[in-house]
Structure 1
Amino acid sequence: MESVFGLVGKDFAIVVADTSAVHSILVHKTNEDKIMVLDSHKLMGASGETGDRAQFTEYIQKNVALYQFRNGIPLTTAAAANFTRGELATALRKNPYMVNIILAGYDKETGPSLYYIDYIASLHKLDKAAFGYGSYFALSMMDRHYRRNMTVDEAIELVDKCIMEIRTRLVIAPPNFVIKIVDKDGAREFAWRESIKDAPVPTLA
């Protein structure tokens, strides 16, 4: 029951993801961070098979860093999105990654942007996007309340509405979410929305 969504505001972009690591009917943990900081001004929120998600996002992160190391300049958000799409397309007919991605970034020249990349390597630049079962409700809320020039406070209020709707409407809803933001000051964690905590691991006497 994964939920990953994001939106672009006036001079920032936000990515939100649930933090549940599940397999079949089991919840392994509720503090899994599914939003990777690619570099100083890019975020990658991912949903899909746990192994594919972890390996593919790390692969993209290291290649983005390698490009900057070799060339002395970072990839733009659009270039990083197209590189990611290309890697998914290359793998599609060999050993496909079952991973869906929301890539957000901030560039000095163009400002904030958000890219939707799915597991069959389609790429779209959007103002708002969502993946997973929670997308049914997140997209509905964003269609109703989203505006292109929203402030950070207005965007966080909308994010909280989306989270509340997901928790209310999904029969098996993820309890915890992480919110990250990227703007001219960089990519960073903004807040967590937690309704339960992981139980402490018992120690042997």
Structure 2
Amino acid sequence: MDYLFGLKTDKFVLLAADKNAARGISVLSSDVNKFYKLTSKCSMVCVGEGGAADQFANYIQKNVHLYKMRNDYEMTAQAAAHFARKTVADGLRSRDGSYLVHFLVGGIDGGAQSVKPYLTYVDYLGSKYDAPYVLHGYGGYFCYSILDRLYRNDMTEEEAVKALKTCLSTLKTRFVINFPEFDAVIIDQNGTRKLGNIKTSDL
């Protein structure tokens, strides 16, 4: 049971994820970090079976860092997403086995004069979906209609965070599974910054 949230405007990308690690009906931990910083302006939030998510995300993270060391410039968010998607697709066709992961990649491409926020979702089959807002998990059943109503391409950071909190408040009220805490980050032209823990008990 995981919940991932991504929202893209014309200036920034907002990513959020729950902090639960669960197996079956048991919660194993409520303090799991699902974020992986790929570049100064790009992050991945990844979930999957067992240790698959951590193994896969670390592999992507280290290869993106290696790309910068070899070329003296960072990979774009779109290129990082394509590399990660291809890794999943290649895994499906190899004898080593597939990566049972789902992930969002968000970041900022372009220079100071041409900011290009980027957001995509990739599933365990390597299917890739670019959209202004994406959700993973059962929470999407409750929250897509909320974002259909609230989303604007020119949203401010405060409005985007308010939309996120509206979604989380709805999950708290309507969804049978309890998500006590969420991590969230905003990625803009100045880099990546954490918004800190969002506790659903405060909503």
TM-score, normalised to structure 1, is 0.91
Matched, 1:102 2:104: yes
Instruction: Write the deviation string for residues 28-77 of structure 1: whole angstroms up to 9, x where unpaired.
Output: 21111112111211111112213111111111000000001001111111
Give the letter aligned to residue 28 of structure 1: L
Between Structure 1 and Structure 2, how many residues are aligned? 196
Decide whether the 8 Å contact of 2:168 with 2:200 is kept in 1: no
**For 2:129 and 2:23, how far apart are their aligned partners in 1?**
30
Corresponding position of 2:150: 145
Matched, 1:46 2:46: yes
Decide whether the 8 Å contact of 1:37 with 1:188 is kept in 2: no
Give the letter aligned to residue 64 of structure 1: V
SS at match of 2:36: strand
Q: Which of the numbers 131, 134, 138 marks the counterpart of 1:133?
A: 138
Corresponding position of 1:76: 76
Give the letter aligned to residue 156 of structure 2: T
Decide whether the 8 Å contact of 1:47 with 1:131 is kept in 2: no
Instruction: Write the deviation string for residues 163-205 of structure 1: whole angstroms up to 9, x where unpaired.
Output: 1111111111211111111001111211211247xxxxxxxxx
**For 1:105 and 1:66, how far apart are their aligned partners in 2?**
18
SS at match of 2:51: helix
Corresponding position of 1:154: 159
Corresponding position of 1:119: 124
**For 1:35 and 1:124, how far apart are their aligned partners in 2?**
19
**For 1:163 and 1:169, how far apart are their aligned partners in 2?**
10
Q: Which of the numbers 184, 192, 195 marks the counterpart of 1:190?
A: 195
Corresponding position of 1:65: 65
Give the letter aligned to residue 70 of structure 1: R
Aligned-pair RMSD on alpha carbons?
A: 1.3
TM-score, normalised to structure 2, is 0.92
Corresponding position of 1:200: none
SS at match of 1:120: coil
SS at match of 2:56: helix
Corresponding position of 2:29: 29
**For 1:110 and 1:87, how far apart are their aligned partners in 2?**
27
**For 2:9 and 2:178, how far apart are their aligned partners in 1?**
26
Structure 2 gap segments, 5+ residues each: none
